[in-house]
Structure 1
Amino acid sequence: MPDPVSVTLTHLSAPVGGSQRLTGHLVRPDGPGPWPGVVVAHEVLGANDEMLRQARRLAGAGYLTLMPDLYADGGKRRCLIPTMRAALSGHGRAYQDIAAARAHLVGDPDCTGAVGIIGFCMGGSFALMAAGSGIFDAASANYGQPPKDMDKALADACPIVASYGGRDRQLKGAAARLDSALDRFGVLHDVKEYPQAGHAFLNDTQFGPRPVHPLLRVAGIGPDPEAAADAWQRIEAFFETHLKHTTKG
């Protein structure tokens, strides 16, 4: 599986109001390009090993993949709260950082110019917000909180594939609300809720200290291989249609 390399994105983020220090993890597919690009918006725990596994998976599927570290400019302790606020409000430097990651991909000679975004947890909220920004060709939101004002955020969104867990207590009804809104806006979409799954069901491993794993499972948080396999099949099919079959000059 392809290995990530660290890239500096500060020259793309700082001039437009983003982070004054921004780095990212770029994963280049094996074999010859060009490839479509995908920006990965990481979960609330940061650009960790779990998120790098997801980035590698996308590169393995044939996407030039870049995950900006939204906590790079000050660390998780300083950046966590403002980044979470940005994910829910639609405002904040994280959006300039995400746009900088897209600009890096578009500027790569091995990118076709078609770029999508995928997000997990907090990153799923960023993916939904970014879907309506006009700069992405497709978006994948995974257990992300839908925007409070969906009419404003999603009316002109790019195609969206979204996945939720029915046992995710903090996102009860989110899939149905999102699906209904996208129907109303006429946005191409594939929204699915997995009744047996909870939050973070796409993760390969359970996060946190081992003694708390049983509590997390009771709370509906953690991997669900069956739901994850189906969700990834849908994501890859969706991106195949809206990214691999879209070439921009």
Structure 2
Amino acid sequence: MCTLDGCGSHEHLGPPPKATDEERRLFLKGAVALPLAVILADPMLAHAAGSGLDKVTITTPQGDEMVAEIAMPATLPAPTVILIHEWWGLNDQIRSVAAEYAKKGYIALAVDLYGKPPATTPQGAKALMASMKADVATRKLKASYDFLKNHKDSTGKVGSVGWCFGGGWSLNTALATDLDAAVIYYGNVKKSADQLASLNAPVMGHFGTLDKNINKGMVSYFETSLKKAGKTDYQIFWYDADHAFANPTGGRYDGEDAMLAWERTMAFFDEHLS
């Protein structure tokens, strides 16, 4: 069951993308590359893909500490992206996506807003989310922005992307900082014009027409609020899909729409962060 805050099922309603045994063997040896969706759908491959990230400790001016994980591209200096996890927490899937961003030429910082092991059940995810304080999370994301903005290998350009729970926090990061671009995957965007007054970053949003909670009503209100606030630099895309359609580990995964959203996101970041 999906709510405004998270998607509570890992149950597959159809077969996920899958590597053959030979492809898995070669990937684990570093001999072949595989599509991101195939990696994300396979726990062993996802763990391997995300294992190369380095841990960094980010401290807010108020003294809050967060251990995040960073993936570095081959060519430096590079633009940077903050990746914000789903309600499950920072897991191998998010680490794998960060590694993929690094392959695409970005310094990718996967934040951990919980500071606890990721959940594997909806009940665990709900408990983690309930334990998080919004003001502390905002401070950690602001500090993450400053960390990337001033990183010695950064071009100074910073974007954010988040999924579900993290999608809403990608928008919140754009409201709290001077981000250069923000991407929202089916996140809570219920904001008034007054709440959007501080938004300066261009925004891209990906939403599913079958999503019963992050739905047309909410997103239409978001667009109306953007217009009332005088914001014009945004793109909203709808897909004939459900909530969490870009996550191959869940039953709502839609491979075609996930790939299209990925291509649009890459083009968006290329335009605004390069």
Q: Is the alpha carbon distance of 1:28 and 1:50 closer, same or farther for their aligned partners in structure 2, counting shifts above 3 Å?
A: same
Shift of 1:203: 1.2
Q: Equivalent residue for 2:235? A: 190
Which of 113, 121, 136 does residue 179 from structure 2 map onto?
136
Q: Equivalent residue for 1:160? A: 203
Q: Equivalent residue for 1:150? A: 192
Which of 94, 108, 111 does residue 137 from structure 2 map onto?
94
Which of 81, 100, 108 does residue 130 from structure 2 map onto?
81
User: Which structure is richer in relative contact order (CA contacts within 8 A, separation 6 or more)?
Assistant: 2
Q: Is the alpha carbon distance of 1:186 and 1:66 closer, same or farther for their aligned partners in structure 2, counting shifts above 3 Å?
A: same
Q: Report % sequence identity.
A: 29
Q: Equivalent residue for 2:72? A: 28
Q: Equivalent residue for 2:15? A: none
* CA distance in 2: counterparts of 1:74 and 1:226, whole angstroms: 31
* CA distance in 2: counterparts of 1:167 and 1:161, whole angstroms: 19
When normalised by structure 1's length, the TM-score is 0.79
Contact 1:17–1:93 at 8 Å: present in 2 too? no
Which amino acid counterpart does residue 123 of structure 1 have in structure 2?
G
Q: Is the alpha carbon distance of 1:180 and 1:106 closer, same or farther for their aligned partners in structure 2, counting shifts above 3 Å?
A: same
Say which SS state the counterpart of residue 193 (structure 2) adopts.
Answer: helix
Query: How many residues are paired up?
Result: 217
Contact 1:39–1:116 at 8 Å: present in 2 too? yes
* CA distance in 2: counterparts of 1:74 and 1:64, whole angstroms: 24
* CA distance in 1: counterparts of 2:238 and 2:63, whole angstroms: 36
Which of 216, 225, 234 does residue 181 from structure 1 map onto?
225
Q: Is the alpha carbon distance of 1:201 and 1:75 closer, same or farther for their aligned partners in structure 2, counting shifts above 3 Å?
A: closer
When normalised by structure 2's length, the TM-score is 0.72
Which amino acid counterpart does residue 16 of structure 1 have in structure 2?
Q
Which amino acid counterpart does residue 223 of structure 2 have in structure 1?
D
Which of 258, 263, 270 does residue 233 from structure 1 map onto?
263
Give 1 or 2 for the bigger CA radius of gyration: 2
Shift of 1:28: 0.7
Q: Equivalent residue for 1:6? A: 54
Q: String of CA shifts for 1:119-166, please: whole Å, max 9, x gaps.
A: 11101111111212232111001100113x421332231100010111
Provide the alpha-carbon RMSD of the alignment.
2.2
Q: Equivalent residue for 1:16? A: 62
Shift of 1:231: 0.9
* CA distance in 2: counterparts of 1:8 and 1:111, whole angstroms: 15
- Which structure 2 segments of 5+ residues have no match? 1-32, 34-48
* CA distance in 2: counterparts of 1:74 and 1:43, whole angstroms: 13
Q: Is the alpha carbon distance of 1:74 and 1:56 closer, same or farther for their aligned partners in structure 2, counting shifts above 3 Å?
A: closer
| Structure with greater helix share of residues | 1
